[in-house]
């Protein structure tokens, strides 16, 4: 009997999985401002901005 193909995205190797997380508390006004700047998603935008800043500082 043939194996069934797995449906969905293939699993990522352990080295590429995102495991760390942290919480940033914001006021409603701060969050609204970030939401306006962050398109399409706040989390993706924040990750990109934080990583760029960290790389620039660590250089």
Residue 18 above 70 pLDDT? yes
What average pLDDT does this structure show over 6-22?
Answer: 91
Residues 44 and 58: their CA atoms lie apart, in Å, by 21
44-52: list long-range contacts, CB under 8 Å, 24+ apart.
none
Per the structure, the complete domain to which residue 35 belongs is given by: 21-58
Residue 15 lies in a domain: no
User: What confidence category does residue 52 fall into, taking pLDDT thresholds of 50, 70 and 90?
Assistant: very high
- Answer whether 11's CB lies under 8 Å from 5's CB: no
Give me 30's structure tokens.
Answer: 């701060």
User: What confidence category does residue 3 fall into, taking pLDDT thresholds of 50, 70 and 90?
Assistant: confident
- Using CB atoms within 10 Å of the CB of residue 32, give its burial: 0 to 12 exposed, 13 to 18 middle, 19+ buried: exposed
- Could you give the number of structural domains in the chain? 1
Residue 42 above 90 pLDDT? yes
Specify the length of the chain in residues: 59
Residue 47 above 80 pLDDT? yes
Residue 41 lies in a domain: yes
In this predicted structure, what is the pLDDT of residue 1? Answer: 65
């Amino acid at each position: 009997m043939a194996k069934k193909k797995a449906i969905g995205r293939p699993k990522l190797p352990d080295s590429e999985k995102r495991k760390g997380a942290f919480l940033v508390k914001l006021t409603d006004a701060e969050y609204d401002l970030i939401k306006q700047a962050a398109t399409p998603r706040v989390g993706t935008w924040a990750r990109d901005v934080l990583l760029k800043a960290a790389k620039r500082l660590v250089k």
